[in-house]
Structure 1
């Protein structure tokens, strides 16, 4: 039996959609959306002022076998006695400024190019955007294609440099188990402070997005790389708490420096357990 066929006709026009609603208000949110970027700005500004002051102070960074993370490794000959890393002073006598200025560029570069911190300070300082569902005041957006934001593409290299500093700071904590005579078996509150700071920095680094990519990125078949898959799984779990580790480690490194400074300037003595 013959069946009727319907000749193809013109395509139906696409349904018309109304233009985007024009809202005069910057946002329709009624909560205190501005509180989070404001607190972020205040904390980051406080840390910047503190770190800058301590970096240029060039004092009170080594005492009782404890060295501040702002000054480690101390690699110039104008460091206080016994503080350089095994006498390794590649900058010699010509470096007259604070030794911290040779060091801080790397950990600060790692944090400033960090994916989470970029989100935090973009919102807090540049309002780009200040919060979800809040219009930003800028008329155009160029992303990270121009100077200085294009330097954020170096984040992966700062990540690798940060791992080296984590190893050094961990070694500083281990060396703090020695007493003034160089004998092992000594432990003080400062020893625990240095080790806690190193642990927090490791958690921050290992939870980094670049770390996750370095371990499991560019793999087509996880089944062929079981060890890397296990590492990627662990790092992925840490990655969920990257924001938490970012803030805790930031406070941790500042408090560790403050602790060493207070011991070094004699404000209080470093309690010894054994």
Structure 2
């Protein structure tokens, strides 16, 4: 006995307009998801390669450490790069030196509300654009594996706060003179700008907005938290721009440190 036919779902379900075409749009609706996919792919490829090469990630003279390797806590790290000491021994080549935080940062980015929208549309095609039918026959939302993991975003946010503090410490260490003491170079400024933007991206997160005021029933009874919530809400309106900006500044920061560490260029020194 043959199995009963599955009832169509989604745009082909009963009661929906019967339109055979994938879309009636005549504009270049595919351009936005394509550019998004390419942008994300560029960052993923670059970050993956740089996380595993284990070269040109530390400038000992000025204490520049790339964010892709921070914190560096293994005996495999070059001398001086371990700002917090070495907790583990030598690591095999298939484990990145920044293994302690990279999985959490990846989880924070992947579960971010904006990035969900970005890769749902551009990679998963659910849907690829407004008024464009998605190719999937069924949609279970974020109720089953693997998408149920998206609900862990708030926990990744807490770890991201700790990582931001670590990055801030790295930025402070980067104000080191070539002959010791205080110094300022172009690398110091690039690292600092990157850290400030990472803080802005982290604090503009929807989870941060919820933590500061999402559970309050009466704002008038919590004026301080209400003030913080309003500032976070304003920052939250720039979350998409910050999501893309920080991808760019992470690559720029790492690339500049790589050039200086490899001896390709010299750091432009402003003080000492």
Q: How does 1:78-117 map to 2 (within 5 A)?
A: 78-87=76-85, 89-91=86-88, 93-97=89-93, 98-117=96-115
Deviation digits for residues 40-62 of structure 1, max 9, x if unmatched?
A: 11111111111111111011100
Structure of greater Rg: 1
Are 1:203 and 2:204 matched, yes or no? no
Which of the numbers 120, 123, 139 marks the counterpart of 1:122? 120
Q: RMSD between aligned alpha carbons?
A: 1.4
Aligned to 1:254: 251
**Relative to structure 2, which stretch is displaced further, 98-107 or 136-145?**
98-107
Residue 175 of structure 1, CA deviation: 1.2
Gaps of 5+ in 1: 1-17
Aligned to 1:29: 25
Rounded Cα–Cα distance in structure 1 between residues aligned with 2:254 and 2:100: 16
**In the alignment, is the contact (CA less than 8 A) between 1:65 and 1:180 conserved in 2?**
no
Secondary structure of residue in 2 paired with 1:273: strand
Aligned to 2:57: 61
Aligned to 1:43: 39
Rounded Cα–Cα distance in structure 1 between residues aligned with 2:100 and 2:204: 26
TM-score, normalised to structure 2, is: 0.90
Residue 263 of structure 1, CA deviation: 0.8
Are 1:188 and 2:159 matched, yes or no? no
Residue 211 of structure 1, CA deviation: 0.5
Rounded Cα–Cα distance in structure 2 between residues aligned with 1:102 and 1:96: 14
Rounded Cα–Cα distance in structure 2 between residues aligned with 1:113 and 1:36: 21
Secondary structure of residue in 2 paired with 1:266: coil
Deviation digits for residues 180-229 of structure 1, max 9, x if unmatched?
A: 45412x10000000000001101111111000001001111111111100
Are 1:151 and 2:149 matched, yes or no? yes
Rounded Cα–Cα distance in structure 1 between residues aligned with 2:139 and 2:15: 22
Secondary structure of residue in 1 paired with 2:18: coil
Aligned to 1:170: 168
Rounded Cα–Cα distance in structure 1 between residues aligned with 2:107 and 2:252: 20
TM-score, normalised to structure 1, is: 0.89
Residue 19 of structure 1, CA deviation: 4.4
Gaps of 5+ in 2: 1-13
Q: How does 1:15-26 map to 2 (within 5 A)?
A: 19-26=15-22
Rounded Cα–Cα distance in structure 2 between residues aligned with 1:58 and 1:94: 13
**In the alignment, is the contact (CA less than 8 A) between 1:27 and 1:135 conserved in 2?**
yes
| Structure 1 stretches of 4+ moved >4 Å | none
Secondary structure of residue in 2 paired with 1:102: coil
